[in-house]
A = this chain, B = another copy of it.
Amino acid sequence: MILAKDDPLLPAMTPLGQHSLFDLHDCDAAKLSDRDVVREAMLEAVRQSGGTIVADIFHQFSPHGVSGVVVIAESHLTIHTWPERSFAAVDLFTCGTTLDHSKVESLVAAALGATRVDAKTVPRG
């Protein structure tokens, strides 16, 4: 089925959101242990990708590991780190097309020293 750009069916068929899951492997364990480093990596990735940061929460866990959330306008970016496994689980949810998922992925991966990323994107809605 080919639809014209103004076909009334089109809005109903376009996903409302895009949700990417990034598994960051072989990261720098020292960076994953440091709340401030992880927070700055996440905020800077959003800033450089043109996102509007609404709020953020980052927590350091004992004995190690950081969890954090950046609320972006109608979107979010989260992270959970396991320094002992050099692993971090990141997810990026966006509405609209302003934020480039690949760019956010590359920036966070580079900042945390990841050498391998498994990424998948799931349309939502």
Q: Which positions in A face B, CB cutoff 8 Å? A: 16-17, 19, 21, 23, 54-55, 57, 59, 61, 65, 67, 69, 71, 73-76, 78, 80, 82, 85, 87, 89, 91, 93, 95, 120, 122, 124-125
**Max chain B Cβ within 10 angstroms of own Cβ: one of A61, A69, A122:** A69
Docked CA distance A30–B19 (Å): 25
Tell me whether B91 and A93 are in contact (CB under 8 A): yes
Chain B hits for A69, CB < 8 A = 57, 69, 71, 76, 78
Stoichiometry (number of copies): 2
- A56's nearest neighbour on chain B, judged by CB, is B57
- Output the least CB separation between A98 and chain B (Å): 14
**Residue picked from A17, A67, A73, A85, most chain B C-beta under 10 Å:** A67
A76: chain B residues within 8 A (beta carbon): 67, 69, 78, 80
Expressed in whole angstroms, the Cα–Cα distance for A89 and B75 within the complex equals 11
In the complex, the answer to whether B59 meets A124 with C-beta atoms within 8 Å is: no
